[in-house]
């Protein structure tokens, strides 16, 4: 009987292979024609570019000729950019076709619509592919019907289309693993996506880059990927549950779903660190899409507070010792939605006399005094919004500057300067004007004089344009002095916080908790800092953001739909907050309609024994579902003192390095990472990773956990999980995050007695293998 089934299966596989061969040959033909189109597009672009280059060097000094040339050049420039765009579209098509050729599809569904006599077979791959008659040989995984593959079990199924919900009957679901045009594996399944496929995807060794998960997307991940209705989508997912994978697939999905209205650079992702940005950078290109914008919160803030040394979240981890209760209250007040609301209210009610205007200085003298600026502000109706009055003040300052420029053109120094201009410089200043355009010589001279004075006074213009006439730091300090304090904060503690703010500003630096409210106040008064072109905003590791920071992002990107992802258990150096609580806070802070919380409880990254151990250290760990992948039990090495610990570490590294491509030694902070690195680098090929690093080398890596957020490694060694180093629950998230970076193997090294965060129960239940060194 078994033999009979085997023969049948073989027969089926042969038939499927024939189809793969056919599709591959059609893809091959398409590749050839696209290559020809690409070559001719490329030579066309080169020809036009050459022509453009030849033309830019002619007739430079004759004003009249230059105008003519410039119109012609503009036309050519437009042509070059159209041709380059066409060329890059063809190049993308070629890349996608080449990927398709290797593995044209990964799924097949057989469906039968009501009333139809036959079933239809649809094949699903990373992109669609049609034959010459317009028949789909491969359907894009994002097409409406493809959702059936990810969601449905056999029988009646429904799927969303642009025309509304459709129903059909799913008769068969088949999965393929096709490598270089050959079917390696195929099987029919009734599950969402069979476990065998997942096993093989997850069992692979870590790569430098994250892989797309298109062939094995799970049902609950599919909900995240295909959600187009929520304005605020919050994903709480346990470590390794595929949050990051799901949002990258979601971005690819959105780009497909709204391809006429959405561009990749209208999507922005806030990522936890620069290594992470690099790690995920290949997922979208592997799906044939361009990458979205990516930025870390630190980079974003740095860019907006130029000239100040902004404390990063990482510096905060490193420098903050244990906070007193009062310090914690101050921080959480500054990070709250209430504080931001108070800041807004303060700004809305500012009278002219309350605003900290600054003089605009030119050549060490006052050009516009703060008194003048304040009286301009005061001249606009008091009923108007402060930001409107401010904007009108800005416009008035620009008007006055222009008048000053016109007056200044009559001055002797300007005439002297014009007389000394070389012909070449003179023509440069005329840029774009023909001599005949001026009524007379005086008009021409006035035009040149205006240019010279404008150039000279550019600093004043820039000061107005960049809002330097508002002293945002003083304004913020004034707000700090006036805000209503919550009951739990003592006045002297608050005064100390104000003093600290003032003295750090004197040294051109600012603490992280002051950044969001200060920027918000400055931008809100000045009517700036808003980007209206972004349509989607994603925040990964949302538990690392304060509500105040998220509120500022909300202000900065007002037109965006939000997707926030995180894991409340992975909060570093702070207490855990429940996801429902986070959503409640965000809902009330943002006042959005259509918000949704999705929880992912299944963890895919680590082997079963590692996830089982990770669960055991969390109070609610039992809710986490471990994906069933075999592996060895995590090891705990109890060393006797630092020196012994380092010896054990070197031994563990050597053992792991024989088996795996990457072994990461993860520490609590940078200080420890440096200390460990110093001790081991002469005996291992270790690399110490720092804040600014953007790429992940292979081999042995030593890094603090905050740089490893969102990443994963074949083998992880957690450094010094001792009682001394992890004394209480405030470090539970840190330890949990370290443990869950491991894909295949986990070792913990503890100097003397182990942290109480690892319970006796897990030690006794053989969830971890203990080794003691003998001194």
Ligand X SMILES: Nc1ncnc2c1ncn2[C@@H]1O[C@H](COP(=O)(O)OP(=O)(O)OP(=O)(O)O)[C@@H](O)[C@H]1O
Nearer to ligand X, 30 or 744 (CB): 744
Would you say 414 and 373 are in contact if contact means Cβ atoms under 8 Å apart?
A: no
CA distances from 700 to 56, 382, 664 (A): 53, 64, 6
**Which positions lie near ligand X, rule CB under 6 A?**
198, 201-202, 211, 213, 216-218, 221, 237, 239-245, 567, 604-605, 710, 712, 740
CB of 642 to ligand X, least distance (A): 30
Q: How does DSSP classify residue 682?
A: T
Question: What DSSP line would sit under 257-308, residue for residue?
Answer: HTTTT--GGGEEEEES-HHHHHHTTTHHHHTT----EEEEHHHHHHHHSTTS
237 belongs to an annotated ligand binding site:
yes
Quick one: 87 or 540, whose CB is closer to ligand X? 540
- At residue 638, the 3 state secondary structure works out as strand
- 436 assigned to a ligand binding site: no
3-state secondary structure of 127: coil
Find the shortest distance in angstroms from Cβ 274 to ligand X.
Answer: 16
Choose between 147 and 218: whose C-beta lies nearer to ligand X. Answer: 218
Q: Is 710 annotated as a binding residue?
A: no
- Cα–Cα distance measured from residue 149 to residue 122, given in angstroms and rounded to the nearest whole number: 10
Tell me if 182 is assigned to a ligand binding site. Answer: no
The minimum distance between CB 245 and ligand X, in angstroms, equals 3
Residue 129 or residue 713: which is nearer to ligand X going by CB?
A: 713
Q: Which is nearer to ligand X, 218 or 560 (CB)?
A: 218
Identify the CA nearest to 112 among candidates 104, 102, 121.
121
The strand pairing partners of 747, in sequence order, are: 635, 717
* Burial track 388-402 (b if 16+ CB lie within 10 A, e otherwise): ebbbbbbebbeeebe
653/644 Cα distance (integer angstroms): 14
Measured from the CB of residue 723, what is the shortest distance to ligand X in angstroms?
26
Tokens at 134, concatenated: 């317009």
241 appears as a binding residue in the annotation: yes
Give dist(CA 24, CA 41) in Å, integer.
25
| Shortest distance, position 543 Cβ to ligand X, whole Å | 10
638: which strand partners?
750, 772
In this complex, which beta carbon is closest to ligand X, that of residue 539 or of residue 686? Answer: 539
Q: Judged by CB, which is closer to ligand X: 244, or 722? A: 244
| 645 is known to lie in a ligand binding site | no
CB of 742 to ligand X, least distance (A): 11
Q: How far is the CB of 201 from ligand X (least distance, A)?
A: 4
Our CB check for ligand X shows the closer of 517 and 733 to be 733
Complex with ligand X: residue 234 or 373, whichever CB lies closer:
234
Q: Give helix 547-556 / helix 337-348 axis angle, nearest 10°.
A: 50
Task: Determine if residue 239 is labeled as part of a ligand binding site.
Answer: yes
243 assigned binding-site residue: yes
| Min dist. Cβ of residue 74 to ligand X (A) | 47
Helix (H) or strand (E) holding 717: strand 713-719
Least Å from the CB of residue 95 to ligand X: 22
Q: Which of 593, 601, 717, 608 has its CA nearest to residue 655? A: 717
Helices of type H across 103-186: 147-151
Asked if 122 contacts 111 with a C-beta cutoff of 8 angstroms, the reply is yes
**Smaller CB distance to ligand X: residue 611 or 669?**
611
- By C-beta, is 150 or 300 nearer to ligand X? 150
CA end-to-end distance (rounded Å), the chain:
62
Q: How far apart are CA 570 and CA 576, in angstroms?
A: 8
Instruction: Tell me the sheet residues that pair with 140.
Output: 125
- Nearest distance from residue 601's CB to ligand X, in Å? 11
Distance CA 524, CA 475 (A): 12
Helix axes 512-526, 547-556, angle to 10 degrees: 30
Q: Which residue is listed with tokens 């409640």?
A: 584
The token pair that represents 297 in the structure block: 């919160």
Place of tokens 């409340």: 568
Q: To the nearest whole angstrom, how small is the minimum distance from the Cβ of residue 574 to ligand X?
A: 16
Q: State the pairing for strand pair 136-140/129-130.
A: antiparallel
User: Quick check: helix, strand or coil at residue 434?
Assistant: coil
CB-based closest residue to ligand X: 242
In the complex with ligand X, the residue whose CB is nearer, 599 or 773, is: 599
Q: Which residues are annotated as a binding site?
A: 237-244
Q: Which residues are annotated as a binding site for ATP?
A: 237-244
């Amino acid at each position: 009987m078994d033999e009979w089934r085997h023969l049948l299966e073989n027969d089926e596989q042969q038939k499927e292979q024939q189809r793969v061969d056919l599709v591959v040959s059609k893809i091959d033909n398409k590749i050839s024609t696209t290559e020809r189109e690409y070559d001719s597009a490329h030579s066309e672009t080169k020809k036009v570019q050459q022509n453009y280059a030849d033309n830019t060097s002619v007739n430079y000094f004759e004003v009249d000729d230059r105008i003519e040339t410039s119109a012609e050049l503009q036309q050519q420039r437009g042509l070059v950019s159209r041709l380059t765009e066409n060329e890059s579209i063809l190049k993308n098509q070629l890349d996608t076709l080449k990927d398709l050729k290797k593995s044209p599809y990964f799924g097949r569904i057989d469906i039968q619509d009501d009333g139809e006599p036959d079933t239809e077979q649809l094949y699903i791959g990373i992109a669609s592919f049609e034959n010459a008659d317009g028949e789909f040989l491969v359907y894009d995984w994002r097409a409406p019907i493809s959702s059936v593959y990810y969601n449905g079990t056999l029988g009646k199924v429904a799927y969303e289309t642009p025309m509304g919900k459709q129903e059909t009957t799913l008769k068969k679901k088949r999965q393929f693993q096709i490598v270089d045009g050959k079917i390696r594996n195929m099987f029919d399944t009734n599950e969402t996506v069979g476990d065998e496929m997942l096993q093989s995807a997850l069992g692979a060794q870590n790569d430098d880059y994250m892989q797309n998960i298109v062939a094995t997307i799970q049902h609950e991940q599919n909900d995240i990927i295909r959600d187009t209705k929520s304005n605020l989508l919050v994903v709480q997912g346990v470590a390794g549950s595929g949050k990051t994978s799901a949002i990258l697939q979601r971005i690819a999905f959105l780009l497909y779903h709204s391809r006429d209205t959405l561009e990749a650079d209208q999507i922005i992702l806030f990522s936890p660190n620069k290594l992470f940005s690099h790690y995920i950078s290949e997922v979208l290109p592997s799906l044939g899409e361009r990458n979205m914008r990516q930025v870390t919160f630190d980079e974003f803030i740095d860019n907006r507070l130029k000239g100040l040394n902004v404390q990063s979240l990482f510096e905060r981890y490193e420098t903050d010792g244990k906070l007193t209760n009062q310090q914690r209250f101050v921080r959480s007040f500054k990070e709250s939605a209430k504080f931001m609301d108070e800041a807004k209210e303060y700004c809305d009610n500012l009278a002219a006399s309350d605003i900290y205007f600054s003089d605009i200085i030119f050549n060490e003298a006052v050009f516009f005094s703060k008194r003048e600026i304040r009286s301009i502000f005061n001249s606009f109706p008091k009923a108007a919004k402060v930001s409107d009055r401010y904007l009108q003040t800005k416009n008035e300052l620009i008007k006055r500057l222009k008048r000053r420029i016109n007056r200044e053109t009559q001055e002797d120094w300007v005439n002297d300067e014009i007389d000394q201009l070389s012909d070449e410089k003179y023509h440069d200043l005329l840029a774009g004007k023909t001599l005949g355009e001026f009524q007379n010589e005086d008009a021409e001279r006035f035009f040149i004089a205006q240019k010279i004075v404008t150039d000279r006074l550019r600093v004043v213009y820039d000061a107005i344009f960049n809002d330097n006439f508002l002293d945002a730091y003083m304004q913020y300090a004034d707000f700090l002095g006036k805000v209503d304090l919550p009951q739990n904060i003592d006045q002297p503690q608050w005064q100390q916080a104000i003093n600290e703010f003032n003295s750090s500003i004197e040294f051109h630096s600012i603490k992280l908790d002051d950044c969001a409210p200060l920027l918000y106040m400055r931008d809100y008064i000045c009517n700036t800092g808003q980007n209206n072109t972004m349509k989607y905003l994603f925040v990964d590791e949302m538990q690392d953001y304060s509500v105040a920071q998220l509120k500022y992002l909300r202000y900065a990107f007002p037109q965006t739909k939000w997707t926030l992802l995180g894991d409340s258990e992975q909060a570093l150096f702070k207490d855990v907050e429940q996801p429902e609580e986070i959503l409640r806070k965000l809902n009330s802070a943002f006042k959005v309609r259509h918000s949704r919380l999705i929880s992912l409880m299944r963890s895919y990254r680590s082997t079963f024994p590692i996830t089982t151990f990770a669960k055991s250290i969390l109070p609610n760990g039992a809710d986490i579902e471990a994906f069933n992948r075999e592996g060895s039990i995590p090891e705990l090495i109890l060393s006797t003192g630092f020196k012994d610990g380092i010896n054990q570490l070197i031994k563990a590294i050597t053992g792991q390095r024989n088996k795996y491509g990457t072994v990461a030694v993860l520490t609590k902070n940078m200080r420890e990472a440096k200390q460990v690195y110093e001790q081991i680098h002469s005996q291992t090929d270790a690399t110490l990773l720092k804040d600014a690093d953007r790429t992940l080398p292979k081999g042995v890596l030593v890094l603090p956990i905050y740089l490893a957020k969102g990443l994963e490694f074949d083998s992880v060694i957690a450094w010094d999980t001792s009682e001394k180093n992890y004394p209480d629950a405030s470090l539970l998230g840190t330890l949990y995050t370290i443990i869950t970076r491991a894909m295949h193997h986990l070792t913990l090294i503890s100097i003397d007695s182990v942290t109480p965060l690892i319970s006796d129960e897990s030690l006794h239940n053989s969830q971890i293998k203990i080794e003691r060194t003998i001194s």
